[in-house]
Amino acid sequence: GNSVTQMEGPVTLSEEAFLTINCTYTATGYPSLFWYVQYPGEGLQLLLKATKADDKGSNKGFEATYRKETTSFHLEKGSVQVSDSAVYFCALSRGNQFYFGTGTSLTVIP
Amino acid sequence: EPEVTQTPSHQVTQMGQEVILRCVPISNHLYFYWYRQILGQKVEFLVSFYNNEISEKSEIFDDQFSVERPDGSNFTLKIRSTKLEDSAMYFCASSPGTSGRPSTDTQYFGPGTRLTVL
């Protein structure tokens, strides 16, 4: 079946620290992979995506590379800011259905 | 920037009552979706809707659920007789559907409706 396993949270980092949130997936065929972010009181917003193996998605300093050999799509950012505090969701898309991870809550402290 | 909107933001209902959750997808999008997130659990797919009919649905989407696009703008989710376990955040989403490959399309999500069943 299709599923996403995401690093458990919550994660607390100091400003300017390096961020990694791990995401691995199980899927039939060749899914597209996404990271969504949810700020308090808001809906899920697309952060970045990759639609085929070895693609790198990037946005707002965040990056993730679609690794077929390790079935992973880890989210990274070199220097986090307080404004990055949110819940991050990894997801895969098969057909027109998304499969989400459980979400990882990130808090960045000044 | 266009966005998906949902109303109400919070709905409280008694067990056994019918509820209708409303969504206005992005205007030129062709695919529409409902997801739910029970507190502390994953966001789960319920149903997708294209060309005025359901294109996929999950096991969760049983006979108690129905969806409708009553006019050119609204997309609704109806729960016929609510149960305690229907308490969750319900997210509506839409996607362009113009790539010819729905699996590569970004889905745009609304802010959610929190449903509380007492």
pLDDT in tens, B29-58: 999 999 999 988 889 999 999 989 999 999
Least confident of A102-106, B40-44, B113-117: B40-44
In chain A, which residue's Cα lies nearest the Cα of B42? A102
Give CA separation, B92 vs A35, A79, A81, B76, in Å. 17, 32, 29, 9
B30 Cβ partners below 8 Å, 6+ apart? Answer: B50, B51, B95, B96, B97, B98
In sign, the C-alpha dihedral spanning A37, A95, B44, A66 is: negative
Residue B100 has pLDDT above 80, yes or no: no
CB-CB under 8 Å, A41 with B45? no
Percentage of residues in chain A with pLDDT exceeding 90?
Answer: 80
C-alpha–C-alpha distance, residues B58 and B87, integer Å: 17
CB-CB under 8 Å, A93 with B44? no
For residue A102, give how far its alpha carbon lies from the nearest alpha carbon of chain B (Å): 4
